Structures are given as C-alpha cells and as structure tokens.
Structure 1
C-alpha cells in the first residue's frame, strides 16, 4: 500500500509517459493480455490524439518518483472533436445548452494496490480535474468509464448519467457519461481539503 503520495501537473511534452501508464494500468486491472505490437499501435493512436489537446490540464500522483495515478481534463473548443464523440458516435451538443462550457475528462488510472485509503488518490485527482471545470460556470463534463468506475463516481456523491450504450474499449466495457455542473458541486464542496495539496511540475 502506498502512503507517500505527491501530486503534480504534467507537462504536455510528457504525454507519451501518460499514455504508457494509462494503457498499462488498464490492462493490468482488466487482466487483458495484448501482444506488444498491439500495445504499441494503441499507444501511437492515443498519443497522437492526446497531443491535439494543447489546452488540457494533466494531473498525476507519484510515489517514490513513480507515477501511480493520472487524470486529464480540457475545455472543448469549436474545432475539437472529443474522444466520446468519435468512440460512441455521439453529438454532445445534444446534451448541452447553447453557450454551456463543455469539458472532457479522460486518461484516468490509478495503480492497482495504490489507493486503499478511502479512494484518496481517486478523490484527489477527480477533485483537481473537476475544479478546472468548475471555473467555467455551468460547465458540463463528459467522460468514458467502465461500470466499476461509474459506480465509484456515484458512491463519491458525483451525479453521473450514462448517455449511450456500452462498448468494449481499452480492456473493459466502457460507458459514455455526463456530469452536470450541479452534479459535482457537492463533491467539490465536501473535498476542498484535497485541493490544498501542493502541486509540483512533472518534468524529468
């Protein structure tokens, strides 16, 4: 079990490391075995996709200089297509009023065995990401997550609504969800202490 956790914002130049961590943890959690060439192919696709989001905020947790958690959020611009739109063929404009800020959360992963103190890493990373969305008054957040993660999000008191049919993606059954602005305010209000963590800049 890991206790000495530090939190960082990750520079965009380190996206390759982010994707490597996320892919590895996803397949460890879901016990899916992939060939090395398949992993490399997925990594290249996700890295290319992620490097389009220069307006993103990436938060990671580390222990003993090793990444043990990650999450990424960005506000959608007019020219950007969100992963949820491509994967599920969803038009998210159908779920947001005109002028509503739209955010996307992704690349969420926590190392197996690292987060057994009341989901502390999970809650901290989620609070850091949702605080970014909160700054856009009335902002709605979209994400893709598996069934277990959706259940955990709801247990934390975050209102999450499935908006499409699940598909198999990155090693698990994945569901498109939305988090309305009002649906994550109570979570942030209850967890303001988590946002007091001093954030370093991850650049090694």
Structure 2
C-alpha cells in the first residue's frame, strides 16, 4: 500500500509500494519520450524502455524509496527514486550505462562511506508551478543522505537537468560528455553530500517541519524538528522533539 507523506496545495506526495512500480515505469517512460521526442509513445507497455525500467526498479525496490506526486484525480504527475548502494548487490545504473572505468565504487565507499543513486525523475509536461514540485521531489529524495555525515550520490541526467541543478546550487560534477539514452544525451554525475547542503538549507522549509537555529554561527548548524504534521519517508525526522544536523554548512536566506 502506498504511504501518504503530505499534501502540498493541489497535489499529494506518496512513497509507493512495489505494486506501484508498473505505474511509475509507464509515467517515467512516457514523460521522457514526450520531453525528448515531442510526441506520445504509441504503446508504452510493449516498449523496450518500459520493460527495462520496470525490471530494474523491481530489482532495486528493497534498497530504494520511490516518491511520487499525484493530482486530485490520483494521477501521477511527478516521480523520483533514491536507492542506497551500501549493500545493494545489483550493478549500479551508471556502471551499466558507462562501464566501470569512470568511477571506483570501492574507493567512493571508503572515502564517503555511504553510496546513493538517484533516478526516475520526471514531471508531467503540463504541470507548471515555477519549480516547486521539482524542489519537493528532490528534498524528499535526498533526505536520507542527511542522516549521515558523509555520502556521495551518483546519477545519469540530461544537459537541461544538469543546468537546473546548478541554478539550484546543487554541485554536480560531470564524469564524461555523456551518451545517447532514452531520447537524449545522458551525462553521468557525482554529487557529494556537501554539494547538497546549500540546496537543503535554502529549500528545506518547503517540505520539512523544521527550523534552523541561525543565531549559532559556529558549525555544525542544528535543525529543530517541530511537532510532526507530516508522514516522512526514509525514517527522516523520526524524533519529534529531537535534533538533526546538516554538517559543515552555514545558514543562508531560505526563500523560494
């Protein structure tokens, strides 16, 4: 059963269960095809891309959290998936696409302890809200990374999304010029935990019931959790009266 997270205006956010992966795969493939090809996919469920996404996400499910946004009719209008690769036995998608010469997974684990992969990001082409849904999906997806002091995130994204991440102060490092995949040029990237700090500090108020104690200028900056009004995914903010910390970041102006 899908796990309700919160309402945000005319949408609701959910952490979907394994039964919802087929709907996720259909949405992601159709949106990507329309975005890059400018037309609808004639038969999504029979396409090679659909079956690839379906099988991969079913395999990753026990190690991942899939967040979707739904409209008032219950249709998916946005999606994102975060997966932990600390003990994940499957081949990480970046290595599947680009080979193992771009990164040393064991070295990354040694240096950063926790290894993550983010993917299946898509937003309905007709939904416009000045980027708010994009930020919400990213916030809920990356929240488990902030349970630890160290971490590194891997992803494969197109050039437009790479520019968008930069505009949102997410420090992504391209690993190559990319290849053609799912209708666009796909670029492999790494994002270290500290490269997410500024984005999280600036926009966390959109998603989480937390307050920043900005009177304290010394690091780390502490986060006070308000009384719970949302059903957080990923075990984030489990203690209503506790504290979480975003390590090695300074407080900044939190405006959308």
TM-score normalised according to structure 1 size: 0.88
Larger Rg: 2
Alignment-derived partner of residue 174 in structure 1: 186
Q: CA shift at 1:35, angstroms?
A: 5.7
Larger RCO (CA under 8 A, 6+ residues apart)? 1
User: 2: distance between equivalents of 1:66 and 1:190?
Assistant: 29
Aligned CA distance change for structure 1 residues 192 and 166 (closer, same or farther; 3 Å): same
Question: Does residue 1:104 correspond to 2:110, yes or no?
Answer: no
Structure 1: 4+ residue segments shifted above 6 A = none
Alignment-derived partner of residue 11 in structure 2: 5
Higher mean alpha-carbon deviation, 86-95 vs 102-111, is at 86-95
90, 99, 119: which is aligned to 1:89? 99
Alignment-derived partner of residue 67 in structure 2: 59
Is the CA contact 1:8–1:199 (under 8 Å) kept in the aligned structure 2? no
Question: Does residue 1:69 correspond to 2:69, yes or no?
Answer: no
Alignment-derived partner of residue 162 in structure 1: 174
Unaligned ranges ≥5, structure 1: none
User: 1: distance between equivalents of 2:155 and 2:26?
Assistant: 20
Q: CA shift at 1:79, angstroms?
A: 2.0
Aligned CA distance change for structure 1 residues 78 and 60 (closer, same or farther; 3 Å): closer
User: 2: distance between equivalents of 1:20 and 1:92?
Assistant: 32
Alignment-derived partner of residue 32 in structure 2: 26
Q: Deviations over 1:132-158 (max 9, x none)?
A: 122232110010100000100110010
Aligned CA distance change for structure 1 residues 92 and 80 (closer, same or farther; 3 Å): farther
Q: CA shift at 1:193, angstroms?
A: 1.4
Aligned CA distance change for structure 1 residues 97 and 57 (closer, same or farther; 3 Å): closer
Q: CA shift at 1:32, angstroms?
A: 5.3
Q: CA shift at 1:116, angstroms?
A: 3.3
Alignment-derived partner of residue 54 in structure 2: 47
Is the CA contact 1:101–1:139 (under 8 Å) kept in the aligned structure 2? yes
For the aligned residues, what is the CA RMSD?
Answer: 2.3
Q: Deviations over 1:27-58 (max 9, x none)?
A: 11112555638952221122111111111001
User: 2: distance between equivalents of 1:129 and 1:143?
Assistant: 13
Aligned length: 199
Higher mean alpha-carbon deviation, 179-188 vs 128-137, is at 128-137
Q: CA shift at 1:165, angstroms?
A: 2.9
User: 2: distance between equivalents of 1:97 and 1:51?
Assistant: 24
